[in-house]
Amino acid sequence: MHPFYYLLAAFGVLALVALVVVLRRERSYFVARGKGGPWRTMRLATIPLLAATAALILVPSLGVSGMEALAVVYLMLLIVAPVFWFAAHWLLGRRMQPHLDFRESVLIAGMPIAFVIGAAVVAHALQPFAWMALRTFGLV
């Protein structure tokens, strides 16, 4: 197997472990405030909201051809999708019992985005060390 696949697997495992740690800390934050139930509901609702956001980006862009499709993708990805993502979390948080305020809803909505960006930055920064480790283990 190519060494790059070992590198991807290692980063994937580390990202999953980091995700579990972050979700446990986030859960304990909301449980301490008596909002563990709404947090769980919001986390489970993140999956269908992600699918709806992806559809919001893809459906209009597939209906347009040529270079205009790229413009539609960028418009939807950079402007419409974030507004939809955060507004949907905020509206869903208001319907919870006990209610999640705007700050808590933004925290829940922004954590996956911040995690993906942070994981990419950390993976990029650790890449030279990971290659050194692969060489040390004799995999390169």
Section 5-26 average pLDDT: 94
For 80-91, write each residue's pLDDT tens digit.
999 999 999 999
Which residue type is seen at 10? Answer: A
Q: Structure pTM?
A: 0.86
Reported residue count of the chain is: 140
Question: Cα–Cα distance between 113 and 119 in angstroms, integer?
Answer: 10
Q: Which pLDDT score, from 0 to 100, does residue 29 have?
A: 97
Q: Which pLDDT score, from 0 to 100, does residue 2 have?
A: 86
For 91-136, write each residue's pLDDT tens digit.
999 999 999 999 999 999 999 999 999 999 999 999 999 889 888 9
Q: What is the DSSP string of 11-28?
A: HHHHHHHHHHHHHHHHHH
Mean pLDDT of the chain, nearest integer: 94
pLDDT at 4 over 90: no
Phi, psi of 33 (to 5 degrees): -95, 5
Section 61-73 average pLDDT: 92
Question: Cα–Cα distance between 127 and 77 in angstroms, integer?
Answer: 28
